[in-house]
Structure 1
Amino acid sequence: MLYSFAIEDLAAQLERRVALVSQLLRAHAPRGLSVGALLTLRRLDADGPQRVTDLAAAELVAQPTMTALVNRLEQEGLVRKTPHVSDARAVQVAITAIGRTQLAELRAGRAAVLQTRLDRLDDEARAALAAALPALDRLIEP
C-alpha cells in the first residue's frame, strides 16, 4: 500500500515510529546504557580516540554534558582518558576492551530483538523497509 502524507503528517508519523523503535531497543539494553553512552561508545569504536570537545560537538551536546558522560563511562571501565598528545589542556578519550565487549553485546542484543521483529514480517514488508533505508540515510545527513 502506498501512503500519501503531507510533509507535516509524514514528519509526525516518522517521529512516532522512530520513538517507538528507540523505546523497543532501549528496553533491551543491558546495564541500562543510555542512548548517549551507546552513541559515544560507537563513535569511539569507529573513529578512535577523541577529545571531549570533539565528542560533544559530534553528538550535539554541551561539553559539560559530554564530560559527565565520559566520567561515568570511565568509572564503569568502558573508556579511558589519557593526556592529549598536542594539547596539554585536553584529554583523549578511548574505548577500552571492556567497552568494546559491552558494545558488541549491546549490538548483538539489539540485532536479536530486531531480527525477531523482522521475522514476523512478510517478504514484501521487509523489502519495503530495505527500500526505505537510503531515504533514511539521506534524512539523517547533516
Structure 2
Amino acid sequence: MGTEDVGATLSGLLAGIHRLLRRNLRSGTDQPYLRGAEVELLRLVRANPGIGVSAAARELHLAGNSVSTLVNQLTRRDLLRRETGQDRRAVRLTLTEEAEARLTRWQERRIALVHEQLACLSEQDRAALEAAIPALRRLADGLEANLVER
C-alpha cells in the first residue's frame, strides 16, 4: 500500500472510529448530549483551570465568538463557571462538579468501550495496535505543529 493509500485509509478509519465511539457513548447514557466542541472545551478547561476565553479559542483553533457562545451554553447548563479576575475584565473558566463528574464518566466509558473491542481481537492484532501507538502520537504531533504554523 502506497503512502497516499495509507493516508486515505488511515484518515477514514480514524474518523470512523471517532464517530462510532461518540455514537456508542451517546446511546449508553441518559444525560443530555454534549456536542464535540462542548466536550473539547470542557476537557481543555479541566486541563487548564482558570483559562480565559481568548486563550481557549486559540488552543481550540476556534473564533473567539464561537468559544463565547459555547461558554454561555455550558454556563447555562451548569457545567462551566465564569470567575472574574481581580481586574474585573478578565474571565477565568473552571468546571463545575457536575462537569467533572460527567467528564470522568465519559472517559471511563470510552476506555471501557475500547477495552471491550480490544478483547475481541487476536493477541497479534492487539500487539500491532500497541506497536503503532508511538507512530500515531508522532502523526498527531505533526498535525498539531501544522495547525500552529498556519
TM-score, scaled relative to structure 2: 0.84
SS in 2 for 1:32: coil
CA distance in 2, matches of 1:5, 1:91: 49
CA contact (8 A) 1:81 1:94 kept: yes
Off by >3 Å, runs of 4+ in structure 1: none
Deviation at 1:140, TM superposition (A): 1.4
CA contact (8 A) 1:51 1:84 kept: no
Match of 2:118 in 1: 118
Give the alignment of 1:34-53 within 5 angstroms.
34-53=35-54
> Any unmatched runs of 5+ in structure 2?
146-150
Q: How many residues align?
A: 137
Give the alignment of 1:12-51 within 5 angstroms.
12-27=8-23, 28-29=25-26, 30=29, 31-51=32-52
Question: For the structure 1 residues 76 and 122, does the alpha-carbon distance in structure 2 shift closer, same or farther, using more than 3 Å as the test?
Answer: same
Match of 2:2 in 1: 5
CA distance in 2, matches of 1:97, 1:41: 12
Give the alignment of 1:55-94 within 5 angstroms.
55-86=56-87, 88-94=88-94
Deviation at 1:98, TM superposition (A): 0.9
TM-score, scaled relative to structure 1: 0.89
CA contact (8 A) 1:50 1:93 kept: yes
Deviation at 1:5, TM superposition (A): 2.3
> Any unmatched runs of 5+ in structure 1?
none
* Structure possessing the higher relative contact order (Cα contacts under 8 Å, 6 or more residues apart): 1
